[in-house]
Copies of this chain bind each other. A is one copy, B any other.
Amino acid sequence: MERIDAFPFCVENFHVDFSGRLFPSLLGNCLLNAAGRHAERRGWGVTELCREHRAWVLSRLCLEMEEMPQRFETVEIRTWVESVFKMFTNRNFAILRSDGTAYGYARSVWAVIDMETRRPCDLQTLYGGGLQQYVVPDEENLCPIAGHGHFRFRDAQKVRTLEACYSDVDVNGHVNSVKYIEHILNLFPGERYRSYRLHRFEIAYKAESYLGDVLGFWLQQPEENKFEVEVRKDNSDVVCQARVEFVPISK
Q: Are A190 and B167 in contact (CB under 8 A)?
A: no
Report the separation of the CA atoms of residues A72 and B171 in the bound assembly, to the nearest whole angstrom. 12
Report the separation of the CA atoms of residues A22 and B170 in the bound assembly, to the nearest whole angstrom. 10
A186 surroundings in chain B (CB, below 8 A): 165-168
One of B14, B32, B182 near A32 (C-beta < 8 A): B14
Interface presence of A18 (CB below 8 A): yes
Interface presence of A208 (CB below 8 A): no
A171 surroundings in chain B (CB, below 8 A): 13, 16-20, 71
Interface presence of A36 (CB below 8 A): yes
Chain B: which residue is nearest A169 at the CB level? Answer: B18
Q: Are B189 and A167 in contact (CB under 8 A)?
A: no
Q: Are B190 and A166 in contact (CB under 8 A)?
A: yes
Report the separation of the CA atoms of residues A170 and B21 in the bound assembly, to the nearest whole angstrom. 10
A202 to chain B minimum Cβ distance, whole angstroms, is: 18
Q: Are A18 and B185 in contact (CB under 8 A)?
A: no
Interface presence of A23 (CB below 8 A): yes
A194 to chain B minimum Cβ distance, whole angstroms, is: 9
Interface presence of A127 (CB below 8 A): no
Interface presence of A46 (CB below 8 A): yes
Interface presence of A29 (CB below 8 A): yes
**Cβ < 8 Å to B, chain A residues 142-166:** 165-166
A20 surroundings in chain B (CB, below 8 A): 171
Report the separation of the CA atoms of residues A13 and B178 in the bound assembly, to the nearest whole angstrom. 12
How would residues 199 to 231 of chain A score, 1 for a CB under 8 Å from any chain B CB and 0 otherwise?
000000000000110000000000000000000
Report the separation of the CA atoms of residues A25 and B165 in the bound assembly, to the nearest whole angstrom. 13
| Contacts A/B (CB < 8 Å), 18 sampled | A12-B29, A13-B32, A13-B170, A14-B36, A14-B176, A14-B178, A17-B167, A17-B169, A18-B171, A18-B211, A20-B171, A23-B167, A166-B193, A167-B186, A189-B211, A189-B212, A190-B211, A190-B212
